[in-house]
């Protein structure tokens, strides 16, 4: 059987960054030529960045994508490339279905410029120009995906190109996930190798799901499958890479690393076939290229806790880098949440780019400042102590003029948090540093945070990390340090003391919330699993606890809408994929 040498460009794309993406694609394509690749496969929409969202509705975006594709086509003596991009109506290579609700494309919006039909596409490009175009058939419209808003599904014959006697069928992400779908159609039409361009976001357990699915599809089609995935952070989403090739039996024969750019080179044996458009090219493959050390490399998968930590680091790094932030600041309370966020930030952008601020109040314990300073010492970051007592008293005196005396109770607790938020945002305004908030998912879920206080900032690093997982990640990061002979970045005292906001005397979290080992499993079932209160009670959970927790979640939506973006690591995070109305009278438990 013939063998095709495929180079898979696991790249970190920038949404709307056409110049950067063309440069990155050119670099990978040059590397692919140096190893004598027959063909280069790139991720889904890597030319535009993913997801481009409403940029697709902007006048000039389509033209910019066309110009970028034309620039790629001008490169000489490089292997042909399959480019993930958008293609508009009028291209001779595509046929698109009408909009899903029958509206004319020019009425997709009630205002703005007339829009063309747009397809999520994979374009076969050589120095002779566009040789063929595949269009995504199945458009996901669940979880974080919203593709029916923008794209029209492709119609007509599927796209097969022929490379040295191998019929290569072209697929885009969702097209490969469905049994008896486009992958099976391509095999029936003569494809003997399937290649898939993907922008598949990271979530816990996602790699295992992908590879199990690819095994099923390989066995169904009797074809090897090459699956290239995007890598990098984009707002809340993180793409983990882990591109993979399976043979016709579904066994992994090549796998790229997680959370870093990489050119994965694989030699894939496939059945000979004359089907498809012959990919004519002037490119002269280097038959003598010595690639024995890199071909069909199989990267060792990371453990789940390693994946989560790397996702948080990459998501933080790319949010800062891609949005032009050179430095980050955060409040260091001596608690576990701020300790983890500071450690992630240092791993993401370096110690010199991170600065902490301890802001003790009259209720802060002495060990809190000591723990914060020790953390800063271990991380080698600058820390400044700003006691908030003068501001706290001043605000209290002002408020006493309209309140019945000085603020007490929750009002006074929130006042302290807001003083800290004001200070951090003032420093941010003066220095240009982004404020990293330190709230976790358990707090976000139950509303255990202060609007315009601890929730004030630009990026919420651990907003999708439950409190119990925060502790696991801290212990993991300390173990990593010990394994390389370094000291643990997070002091033991941080991990052993009872969690507390320290906004009143002797305060502990479990005075307001259920213990986290009880709370977090319920939150996972209710938020991520969409279980109802009735279902949770039927599973044996304490009815009073269930009703208390679900009510806290339901009543806190208005707070979550005002939280900054943060890294998504679960299959359902607050924000993109859980869209609950703020004004909401539906309470199943009261029916």
Q: Is the pLDDT of residue 96 over 60?
A: no
Q: Phi-psi bin for 571: left (phi > 0), alpha (psi -120 to 50), beta? A: alpha
Tokens encoding 23: 């440069």
* Tens of pLDDT, residues 319-363: 999 999 999 999 999 999 999 999 999 999 999 999 999 999 888
Say which residue, 285 or 29, is predicted with more confidence: 29
Q: Is the pLDDT of residue 208 over 80?
A: yes
pLDDT number for residue 281: 73
Q: Is the pLDDT of residue 97 over 60?
A: no
| Cis peptide bond prior to 15, omega within 30° of 0 | no
- CA proximity to 191, closest of 162, 227, 153: 162
Q: Which residues are catalytic?
A: 44, 136, 173
Q: Is the pLDDT of residue 95 over 60?
A: no
Q: Is the pLDDT of residue 107 over 70?
A: no
Q: Which of the residue ranges 99-113, 144-158, 474-488 would you say has the lowest mean pLDDT? A: 99-113
Tokens encoding 540: 């044996």
Residue 391, classed as helix, strand or coil, is helix
Q: What do you get for the CA distance between the two ends of the chain, in Å? A: 65
Q: Is the pLDDT of residue 206 over 80?
A: yes
Span 433-459, average pLDDT:
93
pLDDT number for residue 571: 87
DSSP calls for 416-452: HHHHHHHHHHHHHHHH-PEEEE---HHHHHHT-S-TT
Tokens encoding 520: 């977090």
CA dihedral 14, 16, 21, 23 (to 10 degrees): -120
% of residues, the chain, pLDDT over 90: 74
Three-class HEC string of 194-210: EEEEECCECCCCHHHHH
Euclidean distance between CA atoms 352 and 180, whole angstroms: 53
Tokens encoding 339: 């300790």
Measured CA to CA in angstroms, residue 427 lies from 289, 305, 321, 345, 381 at distances of 54, 34, 20, 18, 16
Residue 535's contacts (CB-CB under 8 Å, 6 or more residues apart) are none
Residue whose pair of structure tokens reads 């099923």 in the numeric block: 216
pLDDT number for residue 274: 87
- CA proximity to 449, closest of 293, 323, 271, 574: 574
- Provide the whole-model pTM: 0.92
Mean pLDDT, the chain, rounded, equals 90
Span 520-524, average pLDDT:
94
pLDDT number for residue 293: 64
Q: Which of the residue ranges 233-242, 428-437, 499-508 would you say has the lowest mean pLDDT? A: 499-508
Q: Is the pLDDT of residue 404 over 90?
A: no
Residue pair 236/320 in contact by the 8 Å Cβ criterion: no
Span 380-387, average pLDDT:
96
Q: Is the pLDDT of residue 102 over 90?
A: no
Q: Is the pLDDT of residue 287 over 50?
A: yes
pLDDT number for residue 295: 83
Q: Which domains does the chain have, with CATH numbers?
A: 3-99+112-301 (3.60.110.10), 306-514 (3.40.50.620)
Residue pair 10/264 in contact by the 8 Å Cβ criterion: yes
Q: What are phi and psi of 301, to 5 degrees?
A: -65, 150
Q: Which of the residue ranges 289-303, 420-434, 577-591 would you say has the lowest mean pLDDT? A: 577-591
pLDDT band at 291 (very low <50, low <70, confident <90, very high): confident
pLDDT number for residue 419: 94
* Tens of pLDDT, residues 114-166: 345 889 999 999 888 888 999 999 999 888 888 989 898 887 789 999 999 99
Neighbours of 458 (CB within 10 A): 19
Measured CA to CA in angstroms, residue 411 lies from 298, 405, 442, 531, 545 at distances of 56, 12, 22, 34, 26
Say which residue, 581 or 342, is predicted with more confidence: 342
């Amino acid at each position: 059987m013939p063998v095709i040498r495929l180079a898979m460009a696991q790249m970190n794309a920038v949404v709307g960054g056409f110049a950067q993406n063309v440069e990155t694609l050119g670099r990978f394509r040059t590397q692919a030529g140096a190893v004598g690749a027959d063909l280069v496969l790139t991720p889904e929409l890597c030319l535009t960045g993913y997801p481009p969202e409403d940029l697709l509705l902007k006048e000039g975006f389509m033209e910019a994508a066309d110009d970028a594709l034309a620039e790629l086509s001008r490169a000489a003596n490089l292997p042909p490339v399959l480019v993930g991009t958008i293609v508009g109506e009028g291209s001779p290579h595509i046929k698109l279905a009408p909009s899903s609700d029958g509206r004319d494309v020019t009425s997709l919006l009630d205002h703005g410029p007339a829009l063309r039909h747009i397809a999520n596409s994979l374009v076969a490009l050589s120095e002779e120009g566009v040789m063929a175009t595949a269009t995504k058939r199945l458009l996901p419209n669940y979880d974080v995906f919203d593709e029916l808003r923008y794209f029209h599904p492709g119609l007509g014959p599927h796209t097969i190109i022929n490379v040295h006697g191998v019929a290569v069928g072209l697929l885009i992400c969702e097209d490969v996930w469905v049994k008896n779908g486009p992958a099976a159609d391509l095999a029936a039409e003569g494809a003997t190798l399937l290649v898939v361009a993907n922008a598949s976001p990271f979530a816990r357990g996602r790699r295992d799901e992908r590879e199990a699915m690819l095994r099923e599809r390989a066995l169904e089609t009797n074809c090897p499958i090459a699956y290239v995935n995007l890598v990098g952070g984009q707002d809340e989403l993180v793409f983990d890479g882990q591109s993979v090739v399976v043979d016709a039996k579904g066994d992994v024969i090549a796998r790229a690393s997680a959370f870093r750019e990489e050119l994965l080179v694989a030699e894939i044996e496939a059945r000979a076939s004359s089907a498809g458009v012959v990919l004519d090219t002037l490119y002269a493959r280097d038959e003598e290229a010595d690639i024995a050390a890199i071909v069909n490399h199989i990267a060792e998968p990371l453990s789940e806790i390693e994946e989560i930590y790397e996702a948080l680091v990459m998501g933080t790094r790319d949010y800062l880098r891609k949005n032009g932030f050179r430095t980050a600041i955060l409040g260091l309370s001596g608690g576990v949440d701020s300790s983890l966020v500071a450690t992630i930030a240092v791993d993401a952008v370096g110690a010199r780019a991170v600065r902490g601020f301890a802001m003790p109040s009259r209720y802060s314990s002495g060990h809190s400042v000591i723990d914060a300073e020790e953390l800063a010492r271990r991380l080698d970051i600058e820390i400044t102590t700003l006691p908030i007592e003068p501001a706290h008293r001043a605000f209290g005196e002002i408020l006493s003029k309209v309140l019945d005396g000085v603020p007490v109770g929750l009002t006074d607790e929130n006042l302290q948090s807001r003083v800290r938020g004001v200070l951090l945002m003032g420093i941010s305004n003066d220095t240009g540093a982004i404020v990293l908030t330190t709230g976790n998912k358990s707090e976000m879920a139950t509303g255990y945070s202060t609007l315009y206080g601890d929730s004030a900032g630009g990026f919420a690093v651990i907003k999708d990390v439950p409190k119990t997982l925060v502790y696991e990640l801290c212990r993991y990061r300390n173990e990593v340090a010990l394994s390389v002979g370094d000291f643990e970045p997070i002091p033991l005292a941080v991990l052993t003391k009872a969690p507390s906001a320290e906004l009143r005397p002797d305060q502990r979290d479990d005075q307001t919330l259920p213990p986290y080992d009880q709370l977090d499993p319920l939150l996972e079932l209710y938020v991520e699993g969409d279980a109802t209160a009735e279902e949770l009670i039927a599973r044996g959970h304490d009815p009073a606890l269930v009703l208390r927790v679900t009510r806290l979640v339901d009543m806190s939506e208005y707070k979550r809408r005002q939280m900054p973006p943060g890294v998504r690591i679960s299959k359902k995070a607050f924000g993109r994929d859980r869209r609950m109305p703020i004004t909401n009278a539906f309470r199943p438990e009261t029916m």
